[in-house]
Amino acid sequence: MGELVALTKKDLKILLRDKTGFFFTFFFPLIYAIFFGTIFGSFGGGGSGTISIAVVDADKTKTSRAFTESLRGTPELDVVEMGRDEAVELVRRGGKVAYVALPKGFGVQRDGMLWGEPPTIEIGLDPSRQAETGMLKGLLTKCVFEGMQDLLTDPDKMHDQIEDWVASIKADENVDPMARTALLIFLPAVDTYFQSKPREKAVADGEAAGESGGAAGFQPIVFESTSVARQWDRPKNSYQISFPQGIIWGVLGCSAAFGISLVTERTKGTLVRLRMAPIGRWQILGGKAGACAVTTFALMCVLFTLGTVAFKLRPSSIGLLVLAMACVSLCFVGIMLLLSVLGKTEQAAGGIGWAVLMVMAMLGGGMVPAFFMPSWMQTVSHVSPVKWAILAMEGAIWRGFSPSEMVLPCVILVGVGAGCSVIGVRAFSWTEQS
Amino acid sequence: MLKLSHVRKSYGQNVAVDDLSLDIEPGEVFGLLGPNGAGKTTTVNMAVGLLKPDAGSIELDGQGSPEEPRVRAKIGVAPQTLALYEDLSAIENLNFFGQLQGLHGPSLAKRVAWALEFVGLTDRGFDRVKTYSGGMKRRLNLAVAVVHDPPLLLLDEPTVSVDPQSRNAIFDNILALKAEGRTVVYTTHYMEEAQRLCDRVGVMDHGKLLALDAVERLIEKHGGKSVVTAQTAAGDERIETDDPVAELSRLQAGGKLEHFRVDRPDLEAVFLNLTGRTLRD
User: B231 is in which domain, residue-wise?
Assistant: 225-264
- How far apart CA A412 and CA A7 sit, in angstroms, is 29
Give the model's pLDDT for residue A20.
82
B184 in the same domain as B84: yes
How many interchain CB pairs under 8 A, A with B? 68
Whether B237 and B133 map to the same domain: the answer is no
* pLDDT of A219: 46
Comparing CB atoms, the residue among B81, B101, B144 nearest residue A278 is B101
Percent over 90 (pLDDT), chain A? 24
CATH T-level topology, domain A51-227: abc type-2 transporter like fold (3.40.1710)
Per-residue pLDDT band for A206 (boundaries 50, 70, 90) equals very low
Q: Are residues B258 and B121 in the same domain?
A: no
Would you give per-residue pLDDT tens digits along chain B (281 residues)?
899 999 999 998 889 999 999 999 999 999 999 888 888 888 988 998 888 999 999 999 888 898 888 898 899 999 888 899 999 999 999 999 999 999 999 999 999 999 999 999 999 999 999 999 999 999 999 999 999 999 999 998 888 888 888 889 999 999 999 999 999 999 988 888 888 899 999 999 889 999 999 988 999 888 888 888 988 877 888 888 888 888 888 888 877 778 899 988 888 888 888 888 777 66
Please state the domain extents for chain A. Answer: 2-42+238-427, 51-227
Can you give the pLDDT at residue A114?
A: 67
Give the β-pairing of B226-232 and B257-263: antiparallel
Q: Which residues of A touch B92 (CB under 8 A)?
A: 10, 13
CB-based contact, A277 to chain B, within 8 Å: yes
> Given B81, B97, B104, which is nearest A269 (Cβ)?
B81
- Find out whether B31 and B158 touch, Cβ atoms under 8 Å: no
Is residue B236 located within the same domain as residue B203?
no
Q: Do B213 and B139 share a structural domain?
A: yes
| Residue-level pLDDT at A42 | 57
pLDDT of residue A211: 42
Burial of A360 (0-12, 13-18, 19+ CB in 10 A): buried
pLDDT of A418 > 70? The answer is yes
Partner B contacted by A291 (CB < 8 A): no
Domain count, chain B: 2
Judge if B133 and B248 occupy the same domain: no
Confidence label for A41 from pLDDT (cuts 50, 70 and 90): low
The answer to whether residue B132 sits within a structural domain is yes
Domain boundary among B165, B185, B219: B219
- Distance from the Cα of residue A103 to its chain's centroid: 35
Query: What is the domain-level CATH number for residue B62?
Result: 3.40.50.300
B129 and B33 co-located in one domain? yes
Residue A117 has pLDDT above 90, yes or no: no
Q: What is the mean pLDDT of residues A405-433?
A: 85
Name the residue facing B99 among A3, A270, A273 (closest C-beta): A3
pLDDT recorded at residue A198: 66
Give yes or no for residue A215 having a pLDDT over 50.
no
In the predicted structure, residue A8 carries a pLDDT above the cut 60:
yes
Checking if the pLDDT of A216 tops 50, the result is no
What pLDDT does B27 receive?
92
Residue A199 is predicted with a pLDDT of: 61
Q: Which B positions 26-55 lie with beta carbon below 8 A of chain A?
A: 48-50
Q: Do A268 and B49 touch (CB under 8 A)?
A: no
C-alpha span between A92 and A88 (Å, rounded): 6
Please state, as a whole number, how many other Cβ atoms lie within 10 Å of the Cβ of residue B8. 16
Query: pLDDT: is B80 or A293 the higher one?
Result: A293
Distance CA A274, CA B144 (A): 12
A269 touching B (Cβ < 8 Å):
yes
Residues B196, B235: one domain? no
Assess whether B202 and B245 both reside in one domain.
no
Residue A429: pLDDT over 60: no
B184 touches chain A (CB under 8 A): no
pLDDT at A432: 45
Residue A270 in contact with partner chain B when CB distance is under 8 A: yes
Which residues on A lie below 8 Å from B97 (Cβ)?
273, 277
Dihedral sign (CA B103, B107, B108, B111): negative
A14 CB neighbours in chain B (<8 A) are 85, 87-88
Pairing of strands B208-214, B226-232: unpaired
CA-nearest of B205, B203, B222, B204 to B265 is B222
Please determine, for residue A431, whether its predicted confidence score (pLDDT) is greater than 50.
no
Per-residue confidence (pLDDT) for residue B58, from 0 to 100: 94
In this structure, how many other beta carbons lie within 10 angstroms of the beta carbon of residue A256? 23
Q: Which residue of B has its CA nearest to A267?
A: B81
Q: Residues A348-372: what's their mean pLDDT?
A: 85
When the pLDDT of each residue in chain A is averaged and rounded to a whole number, the result is 81
CA-nearest residue of chain B to A4? B100
Same domain? For B74 and B145 the reply is: yes
pLDDT in the model for residue A207:
42
Q: What is the mean pLDDT of residues A344-362?
A: 87
Residue of chain B with shortest Cα separation from A3:
B100
Letter for the amino acid at B157? E
Per-residue pLDDT band at A407 (split at 50, 70, 90): very high
- The average pLDDT across A337-345 equals 86
> HEC profile for chain A?
CHHHHHHHHHHHHHHHHCHHHHHHHHHHHHHHHHHHHHHHHHHCCCCCCCEEEEEEECCCCHHHHHHHHHHHCCCCEEEEECCHHHHHHHHHCCCCCEEEEECCCHHHHHHCCCCCCCCCCEEEECHHHCHHHHHHHHHHHHHHHHHHHHHHHCHHHHHHHHHHHHHHHHHCCCCCHHHHHHHHHHHHHHHHHHHHCCCCCCCCCCCCCCCCCCCCCCCCCCCCCCCCCCCCCCCCCCHHHHHHHHHHHHHHHHHHHHHHHHHHHHHHCHHHHHHHCCCCHHHHHHHHHHHHHHHHHHHHHHHHHHHHHHCCCCCCCHHHHHHHHHHHHHHHHHHHHHHCCCCCCHHHHHHHHHHHHHHHHHHHCCCCCHHHCCHHHHHHHHHCHHHHHHHHHHHHHCCCCCHHHHHHHHHHHHHHHHHHHHHHHHHHHHHHHC
pLDDT surpassing 80 at residue A175: no
Q: Is B165 on the interface with A (CB under 8 A)?
A: no
Residues of chain A contacting B73 with CB distance shorter than 8 Å = 277-278
Is A270 in Cβ contact with B84 (below 8 Å)? yes
Q: Is residue B281 in some structural domain?
A: no
- Yes or no, beta carbons of B96 and A6 under 8 Å apart: yes
Percent of chain A with pLDDT over 70: 84
Q: Which residues of A touch B69 (CB under 8 A)?
A: 277-280
Lowest mean per-residue pLDDT among A17-21, A275-279, A394-398, B184-188: A17-21
Q: Which of A18, A273, A280 sits opposite B97 (nearest CB)?
A: A273
- Is the per-residue pLDDT at A359 higher than 60? yes
On whether residue B41 sits in a domain, the answer given is yes
- Best mutation target among A270, A283, A284, A430 (most B Cβ atoms within 10 Å) is A270
B82 touches A: beta carbon within 8 Å: yes
Average pLDDT of the residues in A7-35: 86
